[in-house]
Chain A
């Protein structure tokens, strides 16, 4: 039973436009949320995170939004660049429990077209 769902396996956007990647989770005990980016033949690299005490965190072109009541988070990339093309994984953890363990979604393949 998946605890973290990324319902869009893939997303294609035009360079310069906004990319929005979505993630839903089932367990309200999760209180720390992360996005990882993965290029082919490489490991996931940390991109941005947000704690449950916030609803928005911004880092340059990347913004993560958290809606706790809906158990939903999203990653916005503005403007999108061809180098952003990668698989994006949503990951969650419970900082009060097994705070070392990340639970991942299946990932969304983002393609940014020039």
Chain B
């Protein structure tokens, strides 16, 4: 079984540019989550999809962040325009039900310069 795949693994962009992160969950997992870890801090919840529907986006920092999951398969997280404080590692995770544990991807390390 393939795990959760994230692309790219690293991205370095200039302040003001746009970046799109992609997550492919484990096949059959309806639940998809985005989390972020800013350097040295805790891993923080961003949002939760069930299939293509956003169930909870309470952790999204501001309206520069847009997450989508068209067709309930892969998800994208777009940051536009990027700011310096957006730097960090963005993790995606998926699960079958919400009672089950998550499987995390390896993350995308975003550096905004």
Residues of A within 8 A of B (CB): 2, 4, 34, 36, 41-46, 49, 89, 91, 95, 98-107
Contacts and interface: CB of A to CB of B under 8 A. Distances in A.
Contacts of B103: 46
B104 A106 contact: no
A89 B101 contact: no
A107 to B, nearest CB: 7
Interface size, B (range): 20 to 34
B101 A95 contact: no
A41 B99 contact: no
Nearest to B43: A104
A44 B95 CA distance: 14
B99 to A, nearest CB: 7
A104 B42 contact: yes
A88 to B, nearest CB: 12
B101 A104 contact: no
B45 A102 contact: yes
Nearest to A41: B106
